[in-house]
Amino acid sequence: MTNEQMDLLSINTIRTLSMDAVQAANSGHPGTPMALAPLVYTLWNRVMRFDPKDPVWPNRDRFVLSNGHASMLLWSALHLAGVQAVNADYEKLGRPAVTLDDIRRFRQFGSKAPGHPEYHLVSGVEATTGPLGQGIATSVGMAIARRWLAGRYNQPGYEIFDYDVYAVCGDGCLMEGVGSEAASLAGHLGLENLCWVYDNNHITIEGSTSIAFTEDVAVRFLGYRWNVLRVGDANDVDRIENALQTFRQTKGRPTLIILDSHIGYGSPNRQDTAAAHGEPLGDDEIRLTKRGYGWPEDAKFLVPDGVVEHFAAGVGARGGQIHRQWDELFSAYKSKHSGLALEIQQMQRRDLPAGWDRNLPTFVIDEKGIAGRDASGQVLNVLAQNIPWFLGGSADLGPSNKTTLKYDGAGDLQADSPGGKNLHFGIRENAMGAIVNGLALSKLRPFGATFFIFSDYARPAIRLSALMELPTLFVLTHDAMGDGEDGPTHQPIEQLASLRAVPGLTLIRPGDANEVVEAYRCIMQLKHRPAVLVLSRQPLPTLDRGRNAQTAGVAFGAYILADPPEGKPEVILIASGSELSLAAQAHAALVAEGIRSRVVSMPSWDLFERQSEDYRNSVLPKDVRARVAIEQASTFGWERYVGREGHTIGMHTFGASAPLKALQQEFGFTVENIVAAAKAQLPRK
């Protein structure tokens, strides 16, 4: 069999596996895998530097399938290439990442071939994609990370990091705003190691793209300062390979390859049909299509002899050889640059360097206090110096978020300074979240920042971060009504409840500067959980914790800040963030009246719920039913801690435009109101 015949046989194997899998599942999208099989075959078997035996090798090329509904493209490639499975500790498991049986059970529970790519589930998947546009935006973070890694770790004669990032996308990815935001920033940064391949098939679920999408994509991306190439025939593997090689030779710009295709391309019977709409082709159509390929019409999930071997001789041999050469290079690198090599090894394991938390500040008791954002800024500047691969930035709010790294050598990450630690995302929260995910997927420890209210723009990426179990950090300031005069558009109300509801996301709202420090100490030790740190704009008193209450209690989610001088508490005040000092003042007033109150600082529901029942009962005894929660946000959810008959002082509207003190008075966030609420609860002792 000639090389050309083997190419076509391999491509048609991807196509028929995709058709059969979608038909067996009675669910999925067969059209795009049929059309893009030549592209994915060319990328994987002719171009990418990827070792199937070690899919977490640090210098591998990255492949992101942004139009994730075409996931059968990826499952076919991973299976045919023989990609091996690894676990969360990066140990090889001695079995394939995706078996033929997984493909037979496409979209079924327990299969390693789910409906969309899932990073934490299947080895060889570089990012979880599903919401269109998130994948290409995430790939920008990956490309930024590679340039940063090269800037720090590559040394003369030792090019440790030089991988490329490929992302496949469709019309939907380019319509979604997150893709536009990310493309704009990628062009600004001149990410020459980034290549997007746009499947220009002119079809979406509602029909032809002409009903809603008639812009000139090529002109748009030229305006973004991208290099734009076009391949007019999605079946021409040589032209596809030439375009990909042109990308690798292009300097100073990312590359967009516009690939003209048709849904179901390669089928003699289908062009723009139900295949675009997530529907199986049907048995009769599959037989006709296979007949057109010269395929056994009734064979299902057929991998012809020689196809697996062809992939082994392509991506397997090429990737294995490049990986072995890299291992030899890294071995020599360790001898000559041992400190940098150790950093790389620690980073790849998501470990922290020795002394990572040295010199963290401690704040003295101070009634005037310091804003949460200011305390955070001090901590960030210490951590960034202690952890070389800790970096991040803000969506154009660095001076207000206090996230700018100001120590000597921090620098700005720009096209001509890719090793800077201050990232400037511009006013692009949506893309910022996805880019932070891409940085974390590359094993850096990144943070992104904005006002808490604008977390709504970053929420899709925050959710995906939790789904991927990434140790990302989102620093969200202006947490309540402290931005008073800007009014309800800038006053977060429902955001706390909304983000607390995200599975696997740790949200911490510290009550003073020392709690901010402990929050960072807790967050930085997370390896497989993202965190949201919610901080105040206004100064918060630095609290007196007496002898017993330690800020280390932040790591437990809630702890006893103050207790009555004698006896068991008869009422419990629970608060987070800026309201904690109000609870402390109300406690003093209650104790002065002979009422035994307890103050519980509860910066994190998530961390508290992960503690033992004994610990939770020690903080919130079941027999003390008189409880008051205080939080400048929606009261939704607080009944789990105060009981259905308990009282929550919170928000039931969107706030108003006024100075902070006036707002606190208007909405009941006063010591007097808390004391009155506590007394009203006392009959429920």
Number of helices (H), then strands (E), belonging to the chain: the values are 25, 22
pLDDT at 208: 81
* pLDDT mean over 523-547: 93
Sign of CA dihedral 293, 295, 298, 299: negative
Specify the pLDDT at position 685: 63
Instruction: Report the CATH number that the domain containing residue 572 is assigned in CATH.
Output: 3.40.50.920
pLDDT at 645 over 90: no
Residues in the chain: 685
SS3 category, 86: strand
For position 91, what pLDDT does the model report? 87
Range of the domain at 562: 556-684
- Give yes or no for residue 326 having a pLDDT over 60: yes
Residue 150 C-alpha from the chain's centroid: 22
Please enumerate in sequence order all residues whose Cβ is within 8 A of that of 217, keeping only pairs 6 or more positions apart, or say none. Answer: 174, 198, 200, 256, 258
Of 290, 323, 356, the residue at which a domain comes to its end is 323
Residue 645 or residue 424, greater confidence: 424
8 A C-beta contact, residue 208 and residue 202: yes
pLDDT for position 116: 97
Q: Is residue 347 part of a domain?
A: no
Q: Does the structure show a pLDDT above 50 at 604? A: yes
User: Sorting pLDDT into bands at 50, 70 and 90, what band is 348?
Assistant: very high
Q: Would 499 be classed as within a structural domain?
A: yes
Write down the H helix ranges in 116-260: 134-153, 171-175, 177-189, 217-223, 237-249
pLDDT of residue 263: 61
Domain membership flag for residue 550: no
For residue 673, being part of any structural domain is answered with: yes
Identify the domain boundary among 498, 514, 540. Answer: 540
Q: In CATH, what number is assigned to the domain containing residue 376?
A: 3.40.50.970
CA quadruple 413, 415, 416, 417: dihedral, nearest 10: 20
95: in domain: yes
Instruction: Let me know if residue 130 belongs to a domain.
Output: yes
pLDDT digits (tens, 9 = 90+) for 102-112: 999 999 999 99
> How many other C-beta atoms are found inside a 10 Å radius of the C-beta of residue 427?
13
Domain assignment present for residue 545? The answer is no
Residue 452 has pLDDT above 50, yes or no: yes
Q: Which of 541, 655, 545 is nearest to 600 (CA)?
A: 545
Q: What is the pLDDT of residue 420?
A: 97
Residues 286 and 379 in one domain: no
* Residue 683 DSSP label: G
Q: What was the pLDDT predicted at 264?
A: 53
Mean pLDDT lowest for which of 266-270, 573-577, 632-636?
Answer: 266-270
Selection from 29, 20, 104, 2 nearest residue 295 by Cα: 20
User: What number of other Cβ atoms are within 10 A of residue 528's Cβ?
Assistant: 12
Domains: count for the chain = 3
Does residue 465 share a domain with residue 375?
Answer: yes
Q: Are residues 301 and 215 in the same domain?
A: yes
Q: How far apart are the C-alpha atoms of 341 and 349, rounded to whole Å?
A: 13
Q: Are 183 and 232 part of one and the same domain?
A: yes
In the prediction, which pLDDT does 548 show? 62
pTM over 0.85: yes
Last residue of a domain, one of 512, 540, 568: 540
- The span from the CA of 573 to the CA of 598, in Å, is 6
Do both 314 and 438 map to the same domain?
A: no
429 part of the active site = yes
Considering the domain architecture, whether residues 534 and 565 belong to the same structural domain is answered as no
Residue of 285, 429, 579, 631 with catalytic role: 429
Asked if the structure places residue 420 within a domain, the reply is: yes
> Is pLDDT above 70 for 382?
yes
CA 7 to chain centre: 36
Residue keyed to tokens 């994948």: 135
Question: Cα dihedral sign for 179, 181, 182, 188?
Answer: positive
**pLDDT per position as a tens digit, 274-306:** 444 457 889 999 999 999 999 999 999 999 999
Tokens (6 digits) for 522: 């807790």
Cα–Cα distance, 547 to 569 (Å, whole number): 18
Statement to judge: residues 473 and 571 lie in one domain? no
Same domain, 72 and 199: yes
pLDDT, tens digit, for every residue of 185-214?
Answer: 999 999 999 999 999 987 777 778 788 888
Least confident of 254-263, 480-489, 589-598, 650-659: 480-489
Do 564 and 515 lie in one domain? The reply is no
What three-state secondary structure class fits 390?
strand
Sign of CA dihedral 250, 253, 254, 259: negative
Residue 118: CB atoms within 10 A of its CB come to: 19
Give the separation between CA 433 and CA 425, rounded to whole angstroms: 10
Whole-number average pLDDT of the chain = 94
Span 367-396, mean pLDDT?
Answer: 97
Tens-digit pLDDT profile for residues 458-508: 999 999 999 999 999 999 999 988 777 888 989 999 999 999 999 999 999
On whether both 310 and 370 belong to a single domain, the answer is no
Backbone Cα Rg of the chain: 28
Q: For residues 479 and 571, state if they share a domain.
A: no
Q: Quick: pLDDT tens for 581-591.
A: 999 999 999 99
Same domain, 134 and 208: yes
